[in-house]
Amino acid sequence: MSQIFLVIGCAAFCILLADGMSDFIVKPLVARERPCNDPIFKSCITLANNFRATGYSFFSSHAANTFSIAVFFIMLIRSRLLSIILISWSLLNCYTRLYLGVHYPSDIFVGLIWGGFVGFLASKLYSWAYKKIAPNITYVSKQYTISGYDKKDIDVVILVIVIILLYAIFRSVIIYI
């Protein structure tokens, strides 16, 4: 149970630090207008469902949050397939921010850099805390990843992510038909 709480705590740390820095410190200081509200770009952007975001643009909290979680779990679980899926999930999320006209590419880029740093920091925090609460175990079976996670459990997580993605694609196709 302590390991579960540690993973949840580090994931929460990722969101709090990535989102907190963006929303409460950087965005108010930079005060950059969103592309969908910028008079120069406003007419060039086609709004989806007349959605026009409010607030400031720099830097993307969505990019920072999703990439911090992706990097944290990539470093925690160390599964190549899950890594590819998490990076793809994060980049797809970033693309939606550009598509909706709520962020400039530089907002996304800085969000990814900050999120990667936060995810790395959370993984180091996890490693430090895990050494304090758990014995040193070496996993040498092909059933487990290097970090000790059962590959069957990772397959379930991947299946859930793929089902959610397929559902989102299905819903978006139905809405626009």
pTM to 2 decimals?
0.80
* 54 or 10, greater pLDDT: 10
- Per residue in 60-89, pLDDT (tens digit) is 999 999 999 999 999 988 888 889 999 999
**pLDDT value at residue 120:** 97
Work out the burial of residue 62: count CB atoms within 10 Å of its CB; fewer than 13 is exposed, 13-18 middle, 19 or more buried.
buried
Question: What are the beta bridge partners of residue 90?
Answer: none
CB 10 within 8 A of CB 125: yes
Can you give the residue ranges of every domain in the chain? 2-175
Q: Are 48 and 15 in contact (CB under 8 A)?
A: no
